Amino acid sequence: MIEILDLTGIATLQDSGRHGWNKFGVPTSGAMDWFAYQAANSLLNNRPNSATVELGLGEFTFRSLRNTVLSVTGAGYEVENYIWTFPLWTTFYVRAGWTVRVKKINGGNWAYIAIAGGFDSPVIMNSRSAYLRGGIGSALKAGDVLHSFTPTTDLLKLAARDFPVDKFMPYSQNPTLEVIPAPQADWFTPEGIRTFYESEYTLSPSFDRMGYRLQGSPIKKAITKELISEGVTVGSIQIPADGQPIVMMADAPTAGGYPKIANVARASLPLLAQCEAGVSRIRFRETTVEEAHEKHKLLCRAGF
């Protein structure tokens, strides 16, 4: 159980997502960086679907109301507990009454704060993930008390664990994202396709949980007819009339009417999620579904 003392940026509870409601227009939601989220829970032996605090572009200060163990993962943050500073991807023991601050430093966007046992909150439509645009769940704020389940593992066994993130997820300011050509890839000119794979893109500052707008060389279309709206998924790269890519993220609408040039592979989504607006230089590399499955499996096997 923790009490939020101070909070800037945007913080919500997120789990592995809300499944089964896409056909009704409800996005899957869930963590923006699925790898950091799963690692945060895995470090504490939590159940894989446990809710964590997702902190975006801000600082999160809380007091623990019980003795507990916490883990913080993600990119662009560090953890401060009085005179100590912890790096991310570790677990640390916190006594009742201690104050902890998750502090924004350079790079990255999202941090995941997991507690031994997992956070307890109302389950809405089979998930604890907030979807603020749809009125599901709410943004966390100072004064909120977050409850947690009783951990199944002895706290002392959970403390001071490290996750060797460098071995598994190459977070970078200049990532190359692996993408699979999407159903409308043939709507673009050969030159447009070359532009997409050979130039660099930056992340626009107006990004959010719904979508990442990229900026760079515009991508030219060969077919300009209207697409009849069809389902989209996390990682779908839509190209609207101005030729600048928009990547669908966790809270994106379930359907869209812009042609899609490609779709970011699961293994690369965390790299995109943590790109820094205006700073990161993003490139794309074509891959196949089979290769993408292999990489995803390796991450899941090796990482957790």
Partner 1 sequence: MLKPLGDSAILIQLGDAIDPALNQRVHALSALLQSIPAVIETIPAYCTILVHYDPLGTTYNQIKNLIEEKISHLDESTHRPSRRLEIPVLYGNASGPDLEPAATTLALSPSELIRLHSEREYTVYMMGFTPGFPYMGILDERLTLPRLSTPRTRVPAGSVAIAGSQTGIYPVDSPGGWHILGHTPLKLFDPLSESPFLFAPGDTVKFTPLPEGEGQG
Q: Which of 1, 3, 9, 22 binds partner 1 (CB under 8 A)?
A: 22
**Binding of partner 1 by 82 (CB under 8 A):** no
Q: Which of residues 110-129 bind partner 1 (CB under 8 A)?
A: 124-125
Instruction: Report in angstroms how near the CB of residue 134 gets to partner 1 at its nearest.
Output: 5
Q: Environment class of residue 140 by beta-carbon count within 10 Å: exposed (0-12), middle (13-18) or buried (19+)?
A: buried
**Binding of partner 1 by 20 (CB under 8 A):** yes
Nearer to partner 1, 159 or 177 (CB): 177
Q: Which of 135, 156, 167, 242 binds partner 1 (CB under 8 A)?
A: 135
Q: Which of 232, 246, 250, 273 binds partner 1 (CB under 8 A)?
A: 232
Instruction: Report in angstroms how near the CB of residue 78 gets to partner 1 at its nearest.
Output: 33
Q: Which of 4, 88, 261, 265 binds partner 1 (CB under 8 A)?
A: 265
Angle at 136 between CA 132 and CA 142, to 5 degrees: 60
d(CA 69, CA 181) in angstroms, rounded, equals: 43
The tokens for 205 are 């500052």
**Binding of partner 1 by 48 (CB under 8 A):** no
Nearer to partner 1, 24 or 84 (CB): 24
What DSSP string describes 183-206?
A: TTGGGB-HHHHHHHHHS-BEE-TT
| Per-residue DSSP letter, 294 | H
Q: Site for partner 1 (CB under 8 A): how many residues?
A: 41
**Binding of partner 1 by 235 (CB under 8 A):** yes
Say if strands 283-286 and 246-248 run parallel, antiparallel, or are unpaired: unpaired
Closest CA to 88 of 166, 6, 175: 166
Q: Environment class of residue 20 by beta-carbon count within 10 Å: exposed (0-12), middle (13-18) or buried (19+)?
A: exposed
Q: Which of 63, 202, 254, 283 binds partner 1 (CB under 8 A)?
A: 254
Nearer to partner 1, 49 or 233 (CB): 233
Where do we find the tokens 């790269």? 237
| Per-residue DSSP letter, 44 | T
Which residues bind to partner 1, rule: CB under 8 A? 19-26, 124-125, 133-136, 180, 182-183, 228-236, 253-255, 260, 263-266, 289-290, 292-293, 296-297, 300
